[in-house]
């Protein structure tokens, strides 16, 4: 932390250097959430714990949102050479690293959890590797990486 603080670079920013851009995206729904019936049955099962019933309700609500075509906004705040991306879900670190690689000469930071409906968001490769984060806690399909990377590319070009 001390080294990060000491290496902080300051630069002047005028009103013309500040901007906000948004790209609406529809994230692909994971196959296991397309059929609502198992999730609805769990919600109605009074013997199931409240945690599981609530999780099933969140699954159904998010699936219905995606099926209705409702987008999630991906945002980018520009302040001079700094860019701050705002993305949904709990993202794998590879998204931050990719964003930095898209603008290697600038400061690029990322704030996730802006919309937690999607849950964990892994990389395409991570879904095939398995693991907790790319299991049921992720409501997105592996193609989510392509969608988010394209939105990030568009926003970071501005």
Read off the pLDDT of each residue in 60-73 and give the average, rounded to a whole number. 96
* Model confidence at 63: pLDDT above 90: yes
Residue 55 is predicted with a pLDDT of 94
Read off the pLDDT of each residue in 90-103 and give the average, rounded to a whole number. 97
* Model confidence at 91: pLDDT above 90: yes
H-only helix segments in the chain:
2-6, 37-44, 50-67, 93-102, 124-129, 144-157
Reported as a single tens digit per residue, the pLDDT across 130-153 is: 999 999 999 999 999 999 999 999
| C-alpha–C-alpha distance, residues 119 and 73, integer Å | 16
Helix (H) or strand (E) holding 27: none
Reported as a single tens digit per residue, the pLDDT across 77-90 is: 999 999 999 999 99
* Strand 72-79 with 18-25, pairing: antiparallel
Read off the pLDDT of each residue in 111-137 and give the average, rounded to a whole number. 93
Determine the 3-state secondary structure of 100 from DSSP.
helix
Cα 64-65-69 angle, rounded to 5 deg: 110
Residue 138 is predicted with a pLDDT of 95
Tell the residue number behind the tokens 């806690």, with chain if given.
Answer: 137
pTM of the model: 0.90
Phi and psi torsions of 79, nearest 5°: -140, 95
Reported as a single tens digit per residue, the pLDDT across 6-36 is: 998 888 999 999 999 999 999 999 999 999 9
The backbone region for 34, taken as left when phi is positive above 0, alpha when psi lies in -120 to 50, beta otherwise, is alpha
| C-alpha–C-alpha distance, residues 62 and 90, integer Å | 15
In angstroms, the Cα distances linking 122 to 19, 30, 41, 89 are 29, 12, 27, 10
């Amino acid at each position: 932390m001390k080294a990060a603080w000491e290496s902080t670079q300051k630069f002047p920013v005028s009103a013309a250097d500040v901007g906000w851009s948004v790209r609406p995206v529809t994230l692909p729904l994971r196959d296991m959430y397309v059929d609502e019936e198992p999730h609805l049955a769990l919600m109605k099962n009074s013997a199931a714990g409240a945690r599981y019933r609530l999780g099933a309700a969140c699954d159904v609500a998010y699936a219905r949102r995606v099926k209705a075509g409702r987008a999630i906004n991906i945002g980018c705040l520009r302040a001079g050479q700094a860019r701050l991306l705002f993305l949904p879900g709990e993202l794998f670190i590879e998204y931050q690293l990719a964003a930095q690689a898209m603008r290697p000469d600038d400061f690029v930071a990322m704030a996730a959890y802006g919309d937690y409906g999607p849950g964990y968001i892994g990389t395409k490769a991570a879904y095939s590797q398995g693991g907790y984060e790319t299991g049921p806690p992720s409501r997105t399909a592996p193609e989510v990486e392509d969608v988010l990377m394209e939105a990030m590319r568009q926003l970071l070009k501005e």
